[in-house]
Structure 1
């Protein structure tokens, strides 16, 4: 069965966004090989707000070719959006209830792994339901001081096993943990 992978950037002090939602501190170096990660997935899982922000995002026409190619690859994936609001979108499937059961069905039918993109509330929900199989956290060499924390309001202990670490030229450290 395919895995649900939480793959995201985090500041050294544990924030996934700055105080105004900014992510301009995130570093994307070519040695991170994000293309290989994108090749390993076929589905992206979004919260409603994250999907509205990034689910159909198009880079500026003056963006570099690698950025445009990355967004083309992202938009080629199946998209599942979790929302309490009833919506329709030709580019995504919306789920509002029975998350664990529906995710079991989606995982069963997936040909590749699934990327839990976020946001923070959806991540908290997936962690609470025990749905995250792999935590791939890239710790960036910046202290934001405030913002949106990654592990907000987690009430139960989550046991993880460190399975890999990578250090990139930029100083970003990628930590990979598997759920136990």
Structure 2
């Protein structure tokens, strides 16, 4: 059975804002490994459009930065499922469009053999949490206080207890926190 991993970059004050952080080579290498171990990416419209607007151009015109160029190639080739009620089509390589999240469809994907699934959109992470589908959280906390923005857990109403699996500190000061939800007794 494949795990559904919620992986995201965030600031120390809990905001998901890609403009507030500057991932270095070491962090790109971490995400390269995570993507290599993932068979499917799940995106919401906003994150998909953000990623699709940048990474395919790096595939066509490499930056010369090996970890970034490798990230671009890996993410270009991985299966991407985009959930959106407004998009009419998706053009990025290996992308398919779904207009709604259906719990049974995600459970069926999890039951398949193969590499884990990765969800990396804040709103979609919340949806997957509410449906009880997240098996692991990988939160990359950067040493930045943004002061405002999109708070990852702002729309969670119920208490969720987590078990720490591991941590990793990066030379930039970012810390990876890996948790799994504790089973309710």
Task: Give the TM-score taking structure 2 as reference length.
Answer: 0.85
Q: Distance in 2 between matches of 1:112 and 1:158?
A: 26
Decide whether the 8 Å contact of 1:162 with 1:175 is kept in 2: yes
More strand by share: 1
Stretches of structure 1 lacking an aligned partner (at least 5 in a row): none
- Residue in structure 1 matched with residue 66 of structure 2 by the alignment: 65
Q: Secondary structure at the match of 1:170?
A: coil
**For residue 173 of structure 1, what is the aligned residue in structure 2?**
175
1:43 aligns with 2:34: no
In structure 2, the partner of 1:100 is: 103
- CA offsets 1:142-166 (integer angstroms, 9 cap, x no match): 1111111111211111121111011
Uncovered stretches (5+) of structure 2, i.e. residues with no partner:
none
More helix by share: 2
Distance 1:13 1:130, change over 3 A: same
- Superposition pairs of residues 151-166 of structure 1, within 5 angstroms: 151-166=153-168
In 2, the alpha carbon distance for the partners of 1:62 and 1:80 equals: 25
Following superposition, the deviation at residue 170 of structure 1 comes to 1.1
Distance 1:55 1:114, change over 3 A: farther
Give the length in aligned residue pairs.
175
CA deviation vs aligned residue, 1:27-80 (integer Å, no higher than 9, x gap): 234275332212110110000121122136323836223312211101111010
Task: Write out the 4+ residue segments of structure 1 that deviate beyond 4 Å after TM superposition.
Answer: none
1:134 pairs with one of 133, 136, 154? 136
Structure 2 Cα separation of the partners of residues 86 and 66 of structure 1: 31
CA contact (8 A) 2:20 2:144 kept: no
Find out whether 1:30 has 2:31 as its counterpart. Answer: no
Partners of 1:40 and 1:6 in 2: CA distance: 13
RMSD: 2.0
